Amino acid sequence: MAFDALVSKKAGALALIAAAGVSLTPIPADARSAASLARQPAASSRHLRRELSAVAWLVADVNSGKVLASKNPHRKLAPASTLKTLFAVTVLPKFSAKRVRQVSAADLSGLGSGSSVVGIRQGGRYTVADLWNGVFLRSGNDAVHVLAAMNGGWSTTAREMQQTARRLGARDTSVKSPDGYDAPGQVSSAFDLTVFARAGLANEDFARYCSTTRAAFPAAGGGTAQLENTNRILVGSHGMARYPGIIGVKNGYTSKAGNTLIAAARRNGHTLIATVLNPRSGEANGVYKEAGQLLDWGFEHVAHSEPVGRSGRDDEEEEEADF
């Protein structure tokens, strides 16, 4: 499925993830969409179903496209801010990082009550790079609104995101609010979110932003403030250690979605993505711990997994997926 216009033709994130001390090998052009993923046998991952409380999860090999294990990969669930990965895949290639936007009242209209914000002010001047740091590090819905305004508006951006999802072969996603804010009918799946993250990591700018732990941001009254990424498994904060080899991607939370997370890491020549939606254990940092368990399991098994045929099932006993 062609979507070179949507992602950088410089596939991969070569040497741009300095904070992680690693780099991604190039992702083949035919490995960016859902059509290039292969599913894997379930037998060796039975214990994951017993140990993980998430409603849905998936772990996949970025470069080969193999789904190593999954539970309810196509269950349609509220995605929260992990949907910002699709927003970035759709909008990020359109504007130069150095372009400056003076924010109007219209740019910030329609922010949902209780939205996460980075603190963008009406009348303030921000580079596109500032706005993307606000999106990735603080999950700033105000930054998403400004970028969407630059892109032709909220409805236009939602429509383009939906088109992008379809081009990528992501059929479980319905976009209503580009920032991931809870909205009637807005859903995605562990499968689709993994597809979006994989497409994003093929873009050097996406890979850099999603791996950034800290960045300067224009402060009210002049000067700069320091942003810290809210992704605890990336930064190593709030009782979580930084996951070995972590390279992003995006965390989220809403009252409807619960905690959500897409995490990518690289070890020993393999880059894996683990997507976790709505853990039910009630444990502190549960979404990060379960993503870490998936990545640990994936790195132990990635070299030994073999693809099997598609069954078409989507339940706790079958890891149906086909990237």
Q: Which residues are catalytic?
A: 81, 84, 139
Angle (CA) 295-214-124 rounded to 5° is 130
Question: Taking the alpha carbons of 23, 29, 30, 36 in that order, is the dihedral positive or negative?
Answer: positive
Closest by Cα among 187, 193, 174, 202 to 321: 193
Task: Give the Cα separation of 252 and 210 in Å (integer).
Answer: 13
Total length of the chain: 323
Residue carrying structure tokens 């300095």 = 18
